[in-house]
Structures are given as C-alpha cells and as structure tokens.
Amino acid sequence: MINLYSAQIESISLHRVGNKSRNEPIFLSERPHKLNDEISALLKEYFFKPFREKEENYFRFSNEVDVEFNEIYKAAVAIFEDPSRTHQQSKTITTHLFDQSNHPHIKNGEVYIAHFTDVVLDNQKMDAIGIFKSELKHDFLEFEENQQNLDIVIRQGININKLDKGCLIFNQEKEEGFKVLSVDSNRYDAKYWIENFLGLSPLTDENFYTKNYLKFCQNFAKDVVLPAEDKQQEVLFMNRAVNHFAKNDNFEETSFLNEVMDNPELIPEFKHYKVEKGPKYSIEDVSNFDIANKAVSDARKKIKNVINLDTNIQIKMDFINPESAEKFVEKGWDEERQMYYYLVYFNKEQKS
C-alpha cells in the first residue's frame, strides 16, 4: 500500500515529444526546472491523484532476454544510484519515448521526469521516480483589463485534475525489476505506454493472484452459477468464496471447491471454465498461493450482493453471514400469480 502524503519532489525535468510519423520534433530542456512551493504542491496533486484513486496493480520491468536490457529500467537504476544524474537520464527516457511515438494515433505532449523522496510503500520510506505525460489540451478563459473594458482571452493549457499517462517506479526489489505502478487515461494507445515504452509485465505476487482469482470466481458465478441455478445462488456462491479467502492465509483449490461449491455437480464445470477462461486472469496453472488480505477486502467492496427484482424490490444479502441468506430466504413459484417469490423469515425489524 502506498502513502504519498509526505513525498517531496527533489528534482524535475520537463521535455516535449512529438509524433515521429507526423515529423513532429522532440524538445529536450537543457537543465532541470526550478520549482517553488506553489508549483511543487500543484504538480504533486497532478501527478499523485490518479494513483490514490486507482486500484494498486503492480508491474515489473521486463525484457525478452534480461531486464538489464530494458531502457527505462537502466535509466531508473542510474537515477537511484546517483540522483544528480536525473536530468541526464530524463533526456534518455524522453528520447526512448519519442522513438516509440510512431503510430498516427499517438498524441504529442509534455513529459515530466521527477525524482521523489519520502515515498512510503508497505510502511517503508524510500525514493521513487515518476514519469508523466500530458497530451490533451483544454481551452480556458483569461480576463484582461483594457482601459474601461474587461476583455476575454482564450488560451489552451493542461487540466491538472486529469493526468493522461504516468508511472511511479519505487526503489524496491531492484533485482526483480523494481515495483512499478502505471496509469493511462487514454485506452486507445495503452500498448504504446505499458509495453512499447515502459516494457512492463504484471507483478505476479499474492495480491495479484488473490485479486485475479476472485475476479475469475465472480465471472464464473455470472456465466455458470446464475444460468444453472438462480441469482440467489450466484450471490451466495460469491459470499462463500470471499469468506473462504477472508478466513484463510493460504489458498488451496481443492479445499476451496469443497467448501464453497454448494452444488457438487458444478465442480467439473468450474474446472472446465478455468481451462477456458483461466489464461485471461493468469491463473490457469495456479492452485496454491498465499492470500493477500487487502485484495480480499477490496474485492468484498466491489462484489454486488443485491438481488434486483423486476417488481422494483431489492434483496440485499449479508457477505459476513451468508448462512442467514440460506436459512431465512426461500425461493418459490406461485401457480396462481404465475410469478416467482422470495419468502423471508425474521423475528423483528432492525432499526436503521
């Protein structure tokens, strides 16, 4: 988990890259940009805001031969070893980005390379490198006094509430390719940023497997449990799945299936679905891993536990005590009305 509150910008370099296929140039600043407190505060909010709002999906630098051949990894190593080389390396980073900017869809824009200190990751304070790119320009109004009149002047600039592209490289796990976070608000050229420029691969740790396995289970519930059973059983299956993860430190697939699969006939369906869909979540060959508690908590917040009925009534299940939904909620069919119904048992109504 990251905490960017205490982070400080030690140095920042500004450059501009064009699109090579349109013969747009590259502009490299001769020296780092001098910051004042006001600009520093605004830039920190501009750079960090999307990382605070986005789910923490970590990456590592990679290369087909060896990570040491990854251009951005090499530049990051040089900066971490000697921060005084940040501006020199920022030119190398920006030139590499320019070399990848050769598709007609790629927009030109400003590039910011920053060296940060006092970044907190997993309760450890460390330095980090930020690479950011602003692409989309927005119109804004300025007002100027002209003798006895107030005139409107239209200008273009960057919206500091929305970063287009960015990554944070943490000075941790160097030998494995560092830990990296990336954001990209423009989906149409994601391959250009993640793969071609940064050369990143997902960090397959306990957080990765916990999160992806639960996402896989959620889709299994929607694609298999719901058609085979009903909405109640779909919700209850995910209740049992999340609770299994919450109460265990280690995941073992056979134990998981025996506990959460209320209908044993769906176990072969689960295994078949894993063969078919598992590669999408990078879990096709995974049946044992350590469970990350934070990933379970995050998943619990996102998984819907509500049955929406076409009579404008909602039934909300309890994720903490799924047995209540099984014991006190019954589904049936009313022949006279030709409608399904849910029968709910209770002792008294709870005060809200």
> pLDDT tens across 173-199, in order?
999 999 999 999 877 677 899 999 999
What confidence score (pLDDT) does residue 194 get? Answer: 92
What confidence score (pLDDT) does residue 320 get? Answer: 59
Q: How many CB atoms lie within 10 A of CB 283?
A: 21
> pLDDT tens across 135-165, in order?
988 888 989 888 889 999 998 888 888 899 9
Compute the distance between CA of residue 129 and CA of residue 119 in angstroms, rounded to an integer. 10
Q: Which whole-number Å values give the CA distances from 54 to 47, 109, 249, 304, in the listed order? A: 13, 23, 25, 19
**pLDDT at 352 > cutoff 80:** no
Q: Which whole-number Å values give the CA distances from 340 to 114, 154, 234, in the listed order? A: 60, 61, 17
Which residue would you say has higher pLDDT here, 343 or 210? 210
pLDDT category, 236, cuts 50, 70, 90? confident
Mean pLDDT of the residues in the chain: 89
Q: pTM for the full model?
A: 0.78
SS3 222: helix
Mean pLDDT of 216-221: 94
> pLDDT tens across 305-321, in order?
777 888 888 877 765 56
**Most confident of the following: 23-27, 183-187, 294-298, 339-343:** 23-27
**pLDDT at 37 > cutoff 60:** yes
Mean pLDDT of 11-40: 94
What's the burial of 284, exposed, middle or buried (CB within 10 Å: 0-12/13-18/19+)?
middle
